[in-house]
Amino acid sequence: MSNGSTVTEFLLLGFSDVRELQILHFVVFLVIYFAGLMGNLLIISAIALNYQLHTPMYFFLGNLSILDLGSISVTVPKSMVSSLLDTRSISYPACVAQVFLFLVFISTDLHLLTVMAYDRYVAICHPLHYEHVMNRRVCVLIATGAWLAGILYAALHTGNTFSLSFCRANTINQFFCEIPQLLKLACSDSYHSEVGVTAFGVFLAFSCFAFITVSYVEIFKVVLRIPSEQGRHKAFSTCLPHLTVVSLLLSTGSFAYLKPTSSAPSGLDLTMGIFYAVVPPMLNPVIYSMRNKELKAAVKKLFGWRLVSKN
């Protein structure tokens, strides 16, 4: 990656210059991070230790929890340390790493959510062929493909951004290194770069959204023909959490990346950053476990094992 930049570090926008509010920000983010950490670790542990949950749906859900752990760990701890120590600087290499890793986790998350929609489509619309179509080898290959696609997209996006020269003000109007904010700091012409990368990202997101939409249209057609109310309820229970997670990620992420970036520090930029980078990883475990009896039973069983081991 060529770098003709004269910038050696960036300054991240803080939530406040008042010391008391900085401490409050640290405490709030600590609670959010701890909640996201514990929720996702519980899901991963419950799935790994419960043989009954060794199915394609829970295999993909475990991968999703790993991605959520990664995405929230890339942004939140650095912001917490900055508030606690009253420092905003982040080195150039650290900013590159943060952008790359965050994009890996977010883009892989979107690919995996698309795969999970296909998994639900096969399970509900073609139940007799489900075990044959979604066997262990296929699941591993699909999950690996989602991870590789996310890494490739992140590498292209990150390389394209940091191939630009940064010689203007080095203050990023966000609490983490975000590409739309970085492009504003480029002293070389970033218009074509910005349009190309944005168009590619929109095409990718729209393709995943279209595939998920078509899958769920077919799913709901089948579900509405199920004669028993209990059967319809069970089918909807496995689909609604997934739809909620997809809607939350796409709506907040699309708004954050497609809205015009303001030249001055904006509270809206910080708020949207929280909504698409911090809130989904924290809420996903709650959304998936709220209506899932099998997962809740596995978590309770996991706590039971811990109590027995302690006794």
* Exposure string over 231-264, b if 16+ CB within 10 A, otherwise e: eeeebeebbebbbbbbebbbebbbebbeeebeee
Residue 194 to residue 178: CA distance in whole angstroms: 13
Q: Does 2 fall in a domain?
A: no
Q: Does 3 fall in a domain?
A: no
Q: Which pairs count as long-range contacts for 146-151, CB under 8 Å and 24+ apart, including other chains?
A: 146/63, 146/108, 146/111, 146/112, 146/114, 146/115, 147/108, 149/107, 149/108, 149/111, 150/103, 150/104, 150/105, 150/106, 150/107, 150/108, 150/109, 150/111, 151/104, 151/108
Q: What pLDDT, on the 0 to 100 scale, is given for residue 4?
A: 46
Which residue stretches of the chain have pLDDT < 50?
A: 1-4, 307-308, 311
- Of 179, 182, 165, nearest to 5 by C-alpha is 165
Q: Does 48 fall in a domain?
A: yes
Q: What pLDDT, on the 0 to 100 scale, is given for residue 307?
A: 45
Q: What pLDDT, on the 0 to 100 scale, is given for residue 138?
A: 92
Q: What pLDDT, on the 0 to 100 scale, is given for residue 258?
A: 67
Instruction: Dig out the tokens for 202 from the structure.
Output: 């929109």
The CATH number of the domain holding residue 234 is 1.20.1070.10
Q: Centre a 10 Å sphere on the Cβ of residue 127 and count the other Cβ atoms it contains.
A: 10
Q: What pLDDT, on the 0 to 100 scale, is given for residue 310?
A: 52
Domain count of the chain? 1
Q: Does 55 fall in a domain?
A: yes
Helix residue ranges per DSSP H, 224-266: 229-258
Q: Centre a 10 Å sphere on the Cβ of residue 37 and count the other Cβ atoms it contains.
A: 18
Q: What pLDDT, on the 0 to 100 scale, is given for residue 8?
A: 82
Its domain, for residue 236, covers: 9-310
Q: Which amino acid is at 101?
A: L
Q: Does 4 fall in a domain?
A: no
